[in-house]
Structure 1
Amino acid sequence: MKIKNFILLSAGILINQIATADSFSETLKGKPKLNVNLYVFAADVSGSINQGNIKYEVDQPFKETLKELDESFMVHVDFSKGKWGIFADKQIVKTSQEKNAMNIPVALGTKLDQSSYGLYYQAYVSPFYDFKSHSKLIVEPTIGVHRTQAEASLAALNKTAAIDTSWNEFFWGSRFKYNFDTSWNLASEVTFGAENTISAQAYLGYRFPIMNRDLNLRAGYKYFEQDYKTNNFHWEIRQHGPVIGINLPIF
């Protein structure tokens, strides 16, 4: 509860900065920066998907998802200027499988398209230290919108049951970054969605120079939980597992 109260306080600081027009121009001073993050989320998935009389229990470790994977695309784009930044995160996973249930062939296909669009503000930035002018600690409250589109189809005995739905939800939270006195760094993020969504992730990174840019290799862990209900549809899914990625500064 204390963490959630802190997140709400941080989001309030962000909104207050937006409303303070006199000092707004001061917070935009600085060079624009664009970063692209490519990552792989080795998620174990559990939960259930319900629509009317159709109920599909999900209990799928990452090794099973990998065998049945048709398509996967994961990218995070971040643009900032001064103390302000915007970001977009896209994750598409498409799977298909064929199994037998009581000697009856069953075909199952799923497609999950998750997007996040957000705005953040550097509410706290500690003084620079000597290692390439990186700040020691940065706290960035963030707000934005999650969009989820879920599709599932189940075919057996020449009959097909299909689920196709999407929804949007507001979220708030905060990001934290910490730079050691070496090339090592830490990053974490915690957000809460209006539709009972919880997202938490933490990474250990290592910077190394390539072509006058500091690439940042990162490895960590992510937990993502959604519990969405509307009419006769109920989506209750949990994803958790290790994440490996690389941060590519464009400019």
Structure 2
Amino acid sequence: MKFKTYLFISLGIFLSQSTMAESFTETFHGVPKLNLNLYAFGADVDGKIGQGNLSYKVDQPFKETIKELDHSFMAHVDLSKGRWGLFLDHQTVETSQEKSAMSVPVALSTKLNQASYGLYYQAYISPETTTQNYPKLVIEPTIGINHTKAEANLSALNQTLNMDTSWNEFFWGSRFKYNFDSAWNLASEITFGVENTISAHAYLGYRIPIMNRNLNIRAGYRYFDQDYKANNFHWDIRQQGPVIGINLPIF
């Protein structure tokens, strides 16, 4: 908690000082930019889903998720102008499985929709690299709303749990970008939600020129921890694993 408080205060001071250094309208100077990111998250999942007296312990490696995957879609859209930007990150994952827990037949199907709506500000932009038209380092404090909609059907011991709930939570954090004097680049982000959600990821990318645009191929690692309680419902899930994707500038 002390680390999160320190990071929040530091980013707040940094942001306020940077904003005062130039007029507000000047921070919007520049052409609009739209980026589309498509990615795949190879997550190992563990935790617990429960409601009332019925709960289910989740311990599912990615190879099992692939076998039980019904549908998946993951995308990130980023629109910016000047130093300001908006982004939407969306994940939809549907799974179904039948297994036994202590010789008891268990049937579980889940549908998880997660979306993050965020606003960021480029509080620090270093000079461009010597060979690339990109800043060496960019720091972007961000705030936004996480929206989660979880559906699950769990059957065990002649009991059936039909769960359908959704919730929103405010988050804050920061994004970091670093460009080498080559096509290689790094990007990372860490955010904290008020409902005890932690999201962190880091990527290594490589830009490839295609039709006057730089297609950025990225690979990295992502960690997502959610612990939400409401009434008799408890959603305590951790996802972590490798991520691969592409970043394509639209304009």
Query: TM-score higher than 0.5 here?
Result: yes
Query: In structure 2, the residue corresponding to 1:63 is in which secondary structure?
Result: helix
Counterpart CA distance in 2 for 1:185 and 1:15 is: 28
The aligned counterpart of 1:47 is: 47
Superposition deviation, residue 234 in structure 1: 1.3
Counterparts of 1:29-178 in structure 2 under 5 Å? 29-100=29-100, 106-155=106-155, 160-178=160-178
The aligned counterpart of 2:244 is: 244
The aligned counterpart of 1:190 is: 190
Cα deviation, 1:186-214, whole Å, max 9, x if unaligned, reads 00101000011111111100001000000
Counterpart CA distance in 2 for 1:126 and 1:92 is: 36
In angstroms, what is the RMSD of aligned CA positions? 2.0
- Which stretches of structure 1, 4 residues or longer, exceed 6 Å deviation after superposition? 15-18
Counterpart CA distance in 2 for 1:102 and 1:222 is: 32
Q: Which runs of 5+ in 1 are unaligned?
A: none
Indicate the larger mover: 151-160 or 122-131: 151-160
Query: In structure 2, the residue corresponding to 1:10 is in which secondary structure?
Result: helix
CA contact (8 A) 1:17 1:24 kept: no
The aligned counterpart of 2:212 is: 212
Q: Which runs of 5+ in 2 are unaligned?
A: none
CA contact (8 A) 2:18 2:123 kept: no
Superposition deviation, residue 104 in structure 1: 6.4
Q: Percent identity?
A: 67
Cα deviation, 1:194-242, whole Å, max 9, x if unaligned, reads 0111111111000010000001000000111011111111111111000
The 1:133/1:104 distance shift into structure 2, 3 A limit, reads closer
Count of aligned positions: 249
Cα deviation, 1:23-78, whole Å, max 9, x if unaligned, reads 21100000100000000000000010121111011100000000000000000000
The alignment status of 1:25 with 2:25, answered yes or no, reads: yes
Counterpart CA distance in 2 for 1:139 and 1:201 is: 15
One-letter amino acid of the structure 1 residue matched with residue 229 of structure 2: K
Query: In structure 2, the residue corresponding to 1:31 is in which secondary structure?
Result: coil
Superposition deviation, residue 14 in structure 1: 4.4
The aligned counterpart of 2:228 is: 228
Superposition deviation, residue 129 in structure 1: 2.4
Cα deviation, 1:161-208, whole Å, max 9, x if unaligned, reads 211111000000000000000100000101000011111111100001
Query: Could you state the TM-score of these two structures normalised by the residue count of structure 1?
Result: 0.92
Query: Could you state the TM-score of these two structures normalised by the residue count of structure 2?
Result: 0.92
The 1:101/1:140 distance shift into structure 2, 3 A limit, reads closer
